[in-house]
A and B are shown apart, each in its own frame.
Chain A
Amino acid sequence: MSLAKPDALNITTKQKIALAIGSIGLVILALALFNTNFPNKGLFLTLALGLITVGTVFYSREAYLTKLEGIKNDGVWFKSISSRGIGGWILGVVLTSFYIVLYFFPKYLGLGQNGEANTGLIALFDPLSKLLSGRDASQWFVYGTLYTIAILAFGYKFILKYRHNRYQQLRTISVMFFQLGFAFLIPEFMYVMNNDLPYYDLKSIWPLNYYIFDQWSVKGFISNGTIGLALLLFGIISIFVITPFLTYKYGKRWYCSWVCGCGGLAETAGDSFRQLSSKKLYAWKIERWLIHLVLVFSVVMTTAMVYSYLGTDSSKYWLTKGVFISLVIAFLTLVFAGVMYFKGKELAKDAKYGAISLFAVITLLLVMHFTSTTDHLFFVKGSALRSAYGIYIGSIFSGVIGTGFYPILGSRSWCRFGCPMAAILGFQQRLFSKFRITTNGGQCISCGNCSNSCEMGIDVRHYAQKGENIVRSSCVGCGICSAVCPRGVLKLENDSMKGRINSNDILLGNDVDLMNYVNQK
């Protein structure tokens, strides 16, 4: 993690000491990884995590508190690590390798095979896992702990970096809170209370949480009485009520940059890499295809999964294969009809793509229902679809590429190109939300600081220099474009839907008659 810090060039002696402290922590973890058997694991684990945290905190204080409040981006494009230099590539390779081992070869991290005790790095985390939930650590526990430490330590750094900006501070405190509480601690405590419950991070909503409707998961919930049922219901209400409501009021930022764990890591540990996202038009085109394909994939996969374990006899349980498939089709059609009715005029070309993909999905579902007598879809099992999704999307895309490639593609490539949750929220944000980034009259000087710092690769300047509000489905509302704007042009706002999209050819400040003449044509 301390590798993510700026280069050791031009840093003060105190910062070098801080780097050294953090590195010792990393060395302990590395030693454990190479099977050093520490005598007192609890002590050494505390030492390792403590030193990493202290190093980062100490480094950040020296970096920011010695300077006046303001924008602190000096040299980000000079530093090797944050400008795709050698440092960046090395870090990228290290992170990517870590994710590959984590997802596919956990035994090399020391995961006990066939009931044996853990060794190596995972064994080092056993004491903490025992303390929290009474069981041995797993590779996911190790990952979760490191992930949480990264968000907390780099979140602190981020708060100092933006200590003049309360929006940034509150947002960061929020992601730190949700990571530590909802993603890390609460699931462990829930296990202590009831160890039959499936792991459930309450803030992780389908389709980001793609396994919530897996058979084992649903069974796990249902077989655990009221609390299990309540959790399952909460999962469903999150999708159909909470999410649309909050997105309508605040845009998708309420989730993506205030709550979500992927977003949380991107905004804290990934902050140094935000400028690396591509702002080119072709990148946007790839984004729109890719993210919606993942969404379609996840809808089909989930439907097929649920379909495969539902029965056909309605006297046993009301939700049969037939009822379920009809519900899915009805819901998708309703969404599509609603969009076409209320927003059809705004869409034009996009609408066509929407229609095509929707009907592709529906056709697939129908074909599945009427051609197969078993749980096959195109002769592929629902479960095979599910495991393909888990490997290619859940592991490779979101983990290996999404985080491993931070120093190459920027900190939000998963959120931008892959996350099906972001696709749904974005779709709603573009069409049915009060959120927008307001452009301040004619004040833009086209400098490009906003576009440069957009982690989602939005060419913010393209809109700002036309005096046009930014209403984009991918915007996660991190607010950095507004923070770095040297002329105070951008403001994240929730306001009425009317006049939210306001393309102008002539900007405010020119001849009023000319503005009226041109803009009303």
Chain B
Amino acid sequence: MEHIAIIGNGISGVTLARHIRKLSDKKITIISAETEYFFSRTALMYVYMGHMKFEHTQPYENWFWEKNRINLKKGYVNQIDTDNKTLHFTEGDSLTYDKLVIATGSKPNKFGWPGQDLKGVLGMYHKQDLENLEKYAPNNKVCKRAVIVGGGLIGIELAEMLNSRSIPVTFLVREDSFWNGVLPSGESEMINRHIKNHHIDLRLSSNLREIKADENGQVKSIIIDETGEEIECKVVGLTAGVTPNISFLKDSKIEVGRGVKVNRFLETNLKDVYAIGDCAEQHEAIGNRRPIEAVWYTGRMMGETLAQTICGNKLEYKPGHWFNSAKFMDIEYQTYGWVFSERSKKDFEAHFHWKHDDDTKCITVAYNKNTNEFLGINTFGIRMRHETFDNWLTEKRDIDYVMNHLAEANFDPEFYKRFEKDILKAYNNQLTIA
């Protein structure tokens, strides 16, 4: 029986294993050094906030794995002998495989800041990060202030987490507005205000110079590069993006760049070795996507796709229309298709932006100003239907059609106030002015 070894028990590896099991009778082993069982990484924040217990982040009950004959091995792979198809573990044992899949995800970026390895400096990615946070920031007596470095999706989640325990937060963001490398300015500025409304000390255009230690080698304060200001704190959260978690591959024959290099079939340079999820790097970016996609959904899709290939139906990774989602404190965000920030949008991309007076809801619709083709939508505080937008993107609808049929895409709960009329009115006004 062919043995498929998967390193990494995140969404990519687990999706792959589940689908291989559906399609075949192969022997499957999932290896992880992080946790015994699969858990939802995106839910770690809710454990710290007390919404859930850690066990609730596990989407499958513990009996699921044995019932589906998926072997789980807890261990850290420190060497891969691809010639003999053998994995060697730090614990001393080894495991042979027929096909190997690397799905080890990411780790938080560290940019060589002085003090970045002190006690109390942490990312928010692994279960161990959560345990560290619980240790260094259990409450606002032990941790009188925390500083977060890096204004992305994980940074704002960490701010929300600390806020839930009334720990004051200083939030250093390199850009002059939150996440504005991705979000158009109207949205980014709305989120700035929302962050401040939660009494978070948001510092825009601010970089970290260094982290200072106390006599125990624990974080004491940080210095802001631009102003030289020193801020006392007990915890520093490094959330300036993630990078593929592949340092254990450096002595192997597997080709790596920033991530594990893969072709469109998710194959590496070596036969029978594949990589999926956050740690995989496409030779050529697919469409508007980045060569490394560190997103939950793409990890899942790569798992779905590779299962076909491994089970004999060789298939390219060919994702459909882009979509993503996040939640910024109390404001939900969804995106369908492509909406670029002012910084990265192309000449032909124009935007229609609408914002509600309460400053918690807005949408941005991107379209091609030459052809009027609808390109994508960002929606904040209003839920929209994935399927509807997916269809409209496939049908290459124009922006007029989308704006006039927006109500069909609404996904808010029943009895919610609807805004399609206001939005359409604003859209039509904008046309008359232009």
Bound: A492/B415 CA distance, A? 11
Q: Is the CB of A440 within 8 A of B52?
A: no
A313 to B326: give the CA distance in the assembly, Å.
72
Q: For residue A281, which residues in chain B have a CB less than 8 angstroms away from its CB?
A: 61
Q: Are B323 and A511 in contact (CB under 8 A)?
A: no
CA distance A167 to B360 in the complex (A): 19
Shortest C-beta distance, B392 to chain A (Å), equals: 13
Contact residues in A for B405 (Cβ distance below 8 Å): none
A445 to B316, CA, bound (A): 24
Name which residue of chain A comes closest to B42, CB basis: A445
| Distance between Cα atoms of A483 and B319 in the complex (Å) | 29
A445 in complex: contacting residue of B51, B198, B296, B415, CB < 8 Å: B296
A482 lies within 8 A of B386 (CB): no
A69, A166, A441: which contacts B385 (Cβ < 8 A)?
A: A441
CA distance in complex: A486, B334 (Å): 10
A residues near B198, Cβ cutoff 8 Å: 68
- Please tell me if the beta carbons of B297 and A442 are within 8 angstroms of each other in the complex: yes
Task: Report which of A77, A164, A446, A518 forms a contact with B11, defined as CB distance below 8 A.
Answer: A446
> Contact at B59–A446, with CB atoms within 8 Å?
yes
Contacts A68-B198, A510-B320 known; A488 to B332 CB distance under 8 Å?
Answer: yes
Which of B53, B57, B321 contacts A509, CB < 8 Å? B321
Whole-angstrom distance between the alpha carbons of A507 and B411 in the complex?
A: 18
Residues of B within 8 A of A513 (CB): 318
Q: Are A71 and B330 in contact (CB under 8 A)?
A: yes
The smallest beta-carbon distance between A520 and chain B, in angstroms, is 14
B223 within 8 Å of A by Cβ? no
Contacting residues, chain A, for B271 (C-beta < 8 A): none
Contact residue among B40, B315, B413 (Cβ-Cβ distance under 8 Å from A446): B40
Whether A483 contacts B386 by the Cβ 8 Å rule is no
Contact B413 A486 (CB under 8 A): no
User: Which A residues are CB-close (under 8 A) to B330?
Assistant: 68-71, 164
Q: Is B310 an interface residue (CB 8 A)?
A: no
- Please give the distance in Å from B411's CB to the nearest CB on chain A: 5
A76-B320 in contact given A440-B386, A492-B414 (Cβ < 8 Å): no
Whether B332 lies near A75 (C-beta < 8 A) is no
CB distance from A445 to the nearest CB of B (A): 4
Q: Is A280 interfacial (CB-CB < 8 Å)? A: yes
A74, A280, A446, A462: which has the most chain B beta carbons within 10 Å? A446
Q: Is B94 an interface residue (CB 8 A)?
A: no
User: Is B257's beta carbon under 8 Å from chain A?
Assistant: no
Most buried by A among B46, B326, B412: B46
Determine if A288 is an interface residue (Cβ-Cβ < 8 Å): no
User: Is there contact, CB below 8 Å, between B386 and A451?
Assistant: no
Contact status of A77 and B52, CB under 8 A, knowing A440-B386, A479-B413: yes
Question: Is B278 part of the contact surface with A, judged by Cβ < 8 Å?
Answer: no
Stretch of B109-117, B230-238, B298-306, B346-354 lying at the A interface: B298-306
Q: Which of B53, B300, B360, B383 contacts A488 (CB 8 A)?
A: B383
Alpha-carbon gap, A515 to B242, bound state (A): 30
Expressed in whole angstroms, the minimum distance between the Cβ of A450 and any Cβ of chain B is: 11
Residue contact B415 to A73, C-beta cutoff 8 Å = no
Q: Is B413 a contact of A492 with CB atoms below 8 Å?
A: yes
Q: Are B327 and A76 in contact (CB under 8 A)?
A: no
- Would you call A31 an interface residue if the criterion is a C-beta within 8 Å of the partner chain's C-beta atoms? no
Closest to A486 in B: B327
Q: Does A506 contact B (CB under 8 A)?
A: yes
Report the bound CA distance from A94 to B377 in whole Å: 54
Q: In whole angstroms, what is the CA distance A170 to B321 when docked?
A: 37
The interface residues of chain B lying within 8 Å CB-to-CB of A509 are 297, 301, 319-321, 323, 386, 390
A346 at interface by CB-CB < 8 Å: no
Within 8 Å CB of A196, what residues of B? none
Distance in Å: Cβ of B342 to nearest Cβ of chain A? 26
Residues of A within 8 A of B415 (CB): 166-167, 170
Distance between A385 CB and nearest chain B CB, rounded to angstroms? 39
Report if B403 contacts A (CB, 8 A).
no
With a cutoff of 8 Å between Cβ atoms, the chain A residues found around residue B315 in the complex are: 511, 514
| A74 and B164 contacting across the interface, CB-CB below 8 Å | yes
> Is the beta-carbon distance between B42 and A491 smaller than 8 angstroms?
no
**Contacts A165-B413, A448-B59, A509-B321; A74 near B43 (Cβ below 8 A):** no
Interface residues of A in 57-88 (CB under 8 A from B): 68-71, 73-79
Residue B256 is within 8 A (CB to CB) of chain A in the complex: no
A residues 137-186 in Cβ contact with B at 8 Å: 164-167, 170
Instruction: State A505–B52 Cα separation when bound (angstroms).
Output: 27
- Chain B hits for A348, CB < 8 A: none
User: Contact at B50–A167, with CB atoms within 8 Å?
Assistant: no
B 300-342 to A, binary, CB cutoff 8 A, 1 in contact else 0 = 1100110010000001111111010111011010100000000
Among A78, A447, A482, A488, the residue within 8 A (CB) of B43 is A447
Distance between B35 CB and nearest chain A CB, rounded to angstroms: 14
Q: Which residues of B contact A170 (CB under 8 A)?
A: 415
Complex CA distance for A166 and B59, rounded to whole angstroms: 30
Which of chain B's residues 362-417 have a Cβ closer than 8 Å to chain A? 383-387, 390, 394, 411-417
| A484 to B: closest C-beta gap in Å | 8
Please, how many angstroms separate the alpha-carbon atoms of A78 and B47 in the complex? Answer: 10
Is B386 within 8 A of A441, CB to CB?
Answer: yes
Would you give the shortest CB distance from B63 to chain A, in whole angstroms?
8
Contact B319 A510 (CB under 8 A): yes
Residue of B nearest to A462 (CB): B59
Given contacts A70-B329, A75-B164, A509-B319, contact A491 B413 (CB under 8 A): yes
| Residue contact A74 to B301, C-beta cutoff 8 Å | no
Q: Does A272 contact B (CB under 8 A)?
A: no
In the complex, what's the smallest C-beta–C-beta distance from A509 to chain B, in angstroms? 5
> Is there contact, CB below 8 Å, between A448 and B40?
yes
Q: How far is the CA of A68 from the CA of B394 in the complex (A)?
A: 38
Give CA–CA (A165, B413) in the complex, Å. Answer: 8
Cβ of A69: which chain B residues have Cβ within 8 Å of it? 330, 360
Type the 1/0 row for B35-68, where 1 means its CB is closer than 8 Å to any CB of A.
Answer: 0000010110010011111001111010000000
Chain B proximity mask over A81-104: 1 for CB below 8 Å, otherwise 0: 000000000000000000000000
Q: Which residues of A contact B305 (CB under 8 A)?
A: 510-511, 514
Contact of A448 among B56, B61, B166, B417 (CB under 8 A): B56
Contact of B334 among A73, A479, A484, A487 (CB under 8 A): A487
Complex Cα distance, B18 from A507, in Å, reads: 14
Could you tell me if A448 and B43 are in contact, using CB atoms closer than 8 angstroms?
A: yes
Q: Is B22 an interface residue (CB 8 A)?
A: yes
Q: Is A443 an interface residue (CB 8 A)?
A: yes
User: Once the chains are docked, how many angstroms separate the CA of A23 from the CA of B48?
Assistant: 31
Query: A514 and B318: CB pair below 8 A?
Result: yes
Chain A residues 356 to 391 lying within 8 A of chain B, measured CB to CB, are none
Q: Roughly how many angstroms separate A10 CA and B141 CA in the complex, as a whole number?
A: 12
Q: Mark A469-506, 1 if CB is under 8 A from B, else 0.
A: 00000000001001110111001110000000000011
A241 at the interface (CB under 8 A from B): no
- Whole-angstrom CA separation of A482 from B332 in the bound complex: 12
Specify which chain B residues have a CB less than 8 angstroms from the CB of A71 in the assembled complex.
51, 330
A77, B57: Cβ atoms closer than 8 Å: no
A507 to B323, CA, bound (A): 12
The answer, yes or no, to whether A452 is at the interface (CB within 8 Å) is: yes
Asked whether, in the complex, the Cβ of A491 is within 8 Å of the Cβ of B46, the reply is: no
Inter-chain contacts of B216 with A (CB < 8 A): none
A2 to B373, CA, bound (A): 58
In the assembled complex, B247 has its CB within 8 A of some CB on chain A? no
A321 within 8 A of B: no
User: Which chain B residue has the least Cβ–Cβ distance from A451?
Assistant: B56
Is B197 an interface residue when CB atoms closer than 8 A count as contact? yes
- 7 more A-B contacts (CB under 8 A) besides A73-B50, A506-B304, A508-B387? A74-B164, A166-B416, A442-B297, A452-B51, A491-B413, A509-B319, A514-B308
Question: What are 17 A-B contacts defined by CB distance under 8 Å?
Answer: A70-B329, A77-B50, A77-B53, A165-B413, A280-B61, A442-B300, A443-B334, A446-B59, A447-B43, A452-B56, A482-B413, A492-B413, A507-B304, A511-B315, A511-B316, A511-B317, A512-B320
Residues of chain A at the chain B interface (Cβ within 8 Å): 10, 68-71, 73-79, 164-167, 170, 275, 280-281, 438, 440-443, 445-449, 451-452, 461-462, 465, 479, 482-484, 486-488, 491-493, 505-515, 518
